[in-house]
Amino acid sequence: MPDPHYDFVIIGSGFGGSVAGLRLCEKGYRVLMVEKGRRFAAADFPKSNWNLVDWLWMPAIQFRGFFKMTFLPHVTVFSGVGVGGGSLVYANTLPVPKAAFFTSGSWAGLADWGAELAVHYATAKRMLGAARFPGVTPGDLVLQEIARDMGRAGEFEPTDVAVYFGEPGKTVPDPYFGGEGPDRTGCNSCGGCMTGCRFGAKNTLDKNYLWLAEKRGLTIVANTEVDGVSERPGGGYTVRAATSTGWFGKQRVHYTADNVVFAGGVLGTVDLLLKLKEDPAGLPRLSPRTGDFVRTNSESLIGVTSARRDTDYSTGVAITSIFHTDAHSHVEPVRYAKGSGFFRLLMAPHAGGSNAFVRLGGAFASMLRDPVGMLKMYFVPDWARYTQILLYMRTLEGTLSFKRARTPLTGFRKGLTSALADAKAPEAFIPEATDIAQRFAQKVGGTPCSLVSETALGIPSTAHILGGACIGATAADGVIDAQHRVHGYPGLYVCDGSAISANPGVNPSLSITAMAERAMSFIPERSP
């Protein structure tokens, strides 16, 4: 039988792919979306992140969850997998970047980005159901006190989050799309946003963009990973993929399309583009900038585990407030739900330094100074309940390059790895972040901790990997143009975090959504 043919094939179902799916279907196109992860209903999400089979994405051993950890030489990346992409695991937070974001990086000057994107930010907020967090948590109170101590009390505020609050635990007909969307249930402040909302309160993409797109004809194929795209004689593209379930006997599938949208997130899109650029039968004319300008939010993640048992830091939504520490930096309190203590296995005492000897010496000194506190950190009865994670972010740039190579981390197979770029790379330790964590620890009788990969190896962690297929005026400057079209390949687009071309300095999901809305606005209605 001939290969199924579509007007558009979208690779990935995260924020960019979901926007593309809905807007293209609204314009009358026949659209296929291919997602390597599985579909999740509310009941499929694990009760805690100790349920590794349903939480972690490690398909080689048949862990088919939605949370993926990728260890690269210069950064550890947390990302999402599944129908709905990163929305399944993200912290719901929807800030708009400051003005500098729109005038920095490789896209600077190619459009009036701030003005053009304003209407699309508004649309993205409406579609994602942005609402101001209505409560206050114990962690918020401590962070607010720190803001006062630092003379910046006016720089503390609640977050705008993609959550339906309503009446806690009460299910109501769709409150967002005139009854066309699914029923929703009011948030019960369990803190489980990042292990998958089991109660229908989190506004994940399967409850807005994807829900509406499927009603308009979008076809979603899950458990299928694209590994090839090539030009067809006479125009259009062939998309090759394989089912990603089972130990053996993966099925090969092929689709043809006039257009293809890459929306698999940085780890998916950039890896695939680099692979296709190497392949003479793939997309060898891709920009030499493919894989360049990979950046994070220059963030620092520090946990503070309290020795006290009179305060619960797990209640609320994943992120409930923001403290702007200066013009280019801020810190947010992050939480997991009670019982989700998997990360305690990966923690070490927080200790900065320029090399491993200094860091390990600092960690050992911390243990000697407070051995009881250290033991309590590791043996606390409920790590999530008594630990507040502090996420510090800043707009200052630091970039890497991604490439494909054989390394121990890839099992000596050809796979994605990182390399130092000309610019300063992201750092694992930021003095201001450490200072705030120590202030927090003093107020709660706690102990600061970081991932062992940071303390031992100095490798920073990020939940916000961006870039690698950035916007540039020509192929010498970037992979895509100002309308997200791939240079040199008509009909190819990139609509995900790979297209972010400067450091937003804030949680990027809203920006990815707004940029995808703008990109889709340039595509005309389908001709009859």
Contact 12, 82 (CB under 8 A): no
**Active-site option among 74, 120, 350, 464:** 464
Of 386, 370, 220, which is closest to residue 303 (Cα–Cα)?
Answer: 386
Q: Are 302 and 392 in contact (CB under 8 A)?
A: yes
Between CA 161 and CA 179 the distance in angstroms is 21
Cβ–Cβ under 8 Å, residues 241 and 259: no
Cα dist from 446 to 370, 372, 397, 431, whole Å: 10, 11, 31, 18
Residue 499 Rama label (left phi>0; alpha psi -120 to 50; beta): alpha
Q: Is 395 exposed, middle or buried (0-12, 13-18, 19+ CB in 10 A)?
A: buried
How far are the Cα atoms of 54, 61, 414 from residue 247, in angstroms, in the given order? 17, 8, 21
Q: Please, what is the end-to-end C-alpha distance for the chain in angstroms?
A: 26
Is residue 132 exposed (0-12), middle (13-18) or buried (19+ Cβ within 10 Å)?
exposed
**Rg, C-alpha atoms of the chain:** 22
CA–CA dist 363, 127 (Å, integer): 45
Cα angle at 346 between 43 and 334, to 5 degrees? 60
Tell me whether residue 487 is one of the annotated catalytic residues: no
Mind telling me the catalytic residues? 464
